[in-house]
């Protein structure tokens, strides 16, 4: 196995922030992009959000000097890791949480989010629970409280600082909390080379599925995209995302990028919303050019997705003939707006000399009828002109002309 060694120097852990969050908070977790991390200086303090763990369900009593890491399983099997303090007399506690279907706000609510946890420490006889800790498969236990030398570990104490390997599945996402109980400034080495699971990400993010947003018979105002892994919302290049029509021309939709999981800062589901909805039927293409990175900076390089929109145009269907002779068949004139028409603003009927024979003024609806009478008198057969103005569901005004014949 090739081990990639990366030296990361964090200047002043306590004051460092990622966006609005420090690495001492779950939402500021460091993406795991190497198999080995060497931290020269141990972080100080518990981050900006304190407390984040519940000692009633976690083996962690409290967060003293914490750092969080986040990663997604690329190939499942058994996950293993170790934390080796520079000073082997230091005592590190840790807890691994599965947040695949949750977020940082949920981990303190339920013990089922905990995949493995170890806060053992101290010396009991010949058993030393300081120094190297983690999950390397040395013992079959996945939950050990503080204390040392309790065999088997129980609610009152742990056995040793090492846990069993963690069974994991492809696509699952985890956050790892490291807590320096000793409060020293000496650093540590975090080693993810134990176990067979693969977590170091060198592949570009891809798209699993997309869903169009809007009332699609009327307009299209966005796309919901699900990616193969969580992406870094803050680094997404919105100016590299285009919508083109079937002629290849870029459509100005006023694109806005919305990250679904604001509490974490990265998610595998996002939305591209249009401030200017598309209301014309046709073929459109979503174009991404190196626009979307995963947590390790691997960008989606080139992807075009085609959509065909069968948008219904607003229309009012108007009969050209009716027979108001009281025979019970086609006695009254009616208009038939489709679902895109919100209201009839005006309908006027004029005789051959341009005199107004009938009108319907806007009353907030799209239905009316005419019995063919002019000024309350009997109807007069012949051909009449009409003009109709109506408002569609997008509040656009339409004008339509035609003729009506009374038989």
Q: What is the pLDDT of residues 90-126, one digit of tens each?
A: 999 999 999 988 888 888 888 889 999 999 998 888 8
Inform me whether the pLDDT recorded for 46 exceeds 90: no
Per-domain residue ranges of the chain: 5-191, 207-309, 316-406
| 85 vs 155: which has the higher pLDDT | 85
3-state secondary structure the chain: CCCCEEEECCCCHHHCCECCECCCCHHHCEECCCCEEEEEECCCECCCCCCCCCCCCCCCCCCCEEEEEEEECCECEEECEEEEECCCCCCEEEEEEECCCCCHHHCCCCHHHEEEEECCCCEECCEECCCCEEECCCCCCCEECCCCCCCCCECCECCCCEECCEEECCCCEEEEEEEECCCCCEEEEEECCCECCECCCCCCCCEEEEEEECCCCCCEEEEEEEEEEEEEHHHCCHHHEEEECCCCCECCCCEEEEECCCCCCEEEEEEEEEEEEECCCEEEEEEEECCCEECCCCECCEEEEEEEECCCCCCEECCCEECCCCCCCCCCEECEECCCEEEEEEEEEECCCCCEEEEEECCCCCCCEECCCCCCCCCCCEEEEEEEEEEECCCCEEEEEEEEEEC
Encoding tokens for residue 350? Answer: 């004029």
How does pLDDT run across 229-287, given as a tens digit for each residue?
778 887 888 888 899 999 999 999 998 888 755 455 567 788 889 999 998 889 999 88
Tokens of 91: 């005592």
Spatial CA neighbour of 131 closest among 79, 80, 175, 186: 186
Six-digit token pair at 145?
């409280």
Select the more confidently predicted residue: 184 or 299. Answer: 184
When the candidates are 3.90.1300.10, 2.40.30.170, 2.60.40.1220, 3.40.50.2300, the CATH number that belongs to 207-309 is 2.60.40.1220
- pLDDT tens for 197-216 read 988 877 777 888 889 998 88
CB 62 within 8 A of CB 56: no
Beta bridge partner(s), residue 110: none
Given a cut of 80, whether residue 342 has pLDDT beyond it is yes
Better-scored residue on pLDDT, 152 or 1 = 152
| Cβ neighbours, 10 Å, residue 88 | 11
What pLDDT is recorded for position 368?
Answer: 73
CB 292, CB 299: distance < 8 Å = yes
Say how far apart CA 7 and CA 79 lie, in whole Å.
Answer: 22
Q: Is residue 159 over pLDDT 50?
A: yes
**Residue in this structure with the two tokens 């399983």, named with its chain if needed:** 73
- pTM value? 0.61
Average pLDDT, the chain: 83
CB 132 within 8 A of CB 88: yes
For 306-341, write each residue's pLDDT tens digit.
888 888 788 888 888 888 877 777 777 888 888 788
Class of domain 316-406 (CATH, top level)? mainly beta
| Strand-pair partners of 166 | 79
Q: Do domains 207-309 and 316-406 have the same CATH topology?
A: yes
CATH of domain 5-191: 2.60.120.380
What pLDDT, on the 0 to 100 scale, is given for residue 378? 66
């Amino acid at each position: 196995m090739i081990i990639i060694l990366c030296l990361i120097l964090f200047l002043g852990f306590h004051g460092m922030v990622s966006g609005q969050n420090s690495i001492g908070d779950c939402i500021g977790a460091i993406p795991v992009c190497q198999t080995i991390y060497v931290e020269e200086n141990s972080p100080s303090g518990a981050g900006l959000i304190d407390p984040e763990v519940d000692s009633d369900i976690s083996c962690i009593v409290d967060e003293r000097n914490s750092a969080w890491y986040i990663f997604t399983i690329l190939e499942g099997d058994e996950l293993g890791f170790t934390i080796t303090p520079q000073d082997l007399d230091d005592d590190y506690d840790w807890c691994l949480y599965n947040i695949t279907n949750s977020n940082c706000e949920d981990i303190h609510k339920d013990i089922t989010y905990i995949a493995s946890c170890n806060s053992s420490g101290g010396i009991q006889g010949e058993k030393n629970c300081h120094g190297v800790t983690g999950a390397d498969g040395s013992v079959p236990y996945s939950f050990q409280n503080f204390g040392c030398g309790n065999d088997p570990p129980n609610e009152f104490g742990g056995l040793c600082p090492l846990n069993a390997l963690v069974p994991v599945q492809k696509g699952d996402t985890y956050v790892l909390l490291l807590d320096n109980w000793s409060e020293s400034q000496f650093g540590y080495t975090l080693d993810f080379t134990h176990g067979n699971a693969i977590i170091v990400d060198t592949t570009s993010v891809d798209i699993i599925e997309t869903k169009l947003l809007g009332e699609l018979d009327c307009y299209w105002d966005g796309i919901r995209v699900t990616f193969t892994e969580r992406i870094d919302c803050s680094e997404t290049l919105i100016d590299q995302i285009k919508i083109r029509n079937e002629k290849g021309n870029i459509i100005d939709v006023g694109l806005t990028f919305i990250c679904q999981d604001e509490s974490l800062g990265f998610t595998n589901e996002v939305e591209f919303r249009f401030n200017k909805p598309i209301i014309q039927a046709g073929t459109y293409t979503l174009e991404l050019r190196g626009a979307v990175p995963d947590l390790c900076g691997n960008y989606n390089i080139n992807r075009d997705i085609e959509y065909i929109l069968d948008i219904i145009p607003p229309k009012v269907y108007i009969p050209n003939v009716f027979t108001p002779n009281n025979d019970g068949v086609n006695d009254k004139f009616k208009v038939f707006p489709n679902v895109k028409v919100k209201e009839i603003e005006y309908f006027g009927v004029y005789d051959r000399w341009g005199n107004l024979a009938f009108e319907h003024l806007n009353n907030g609806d799209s239905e009316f009828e005419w019995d063919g009478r002019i000024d309350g008198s009997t109807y007069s057969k012949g051909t009449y002109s009409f003009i109709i103005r109506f408002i569609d569901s997008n509040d656009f005004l339409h004008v339509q002309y035609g003729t009506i014949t009374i038989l």
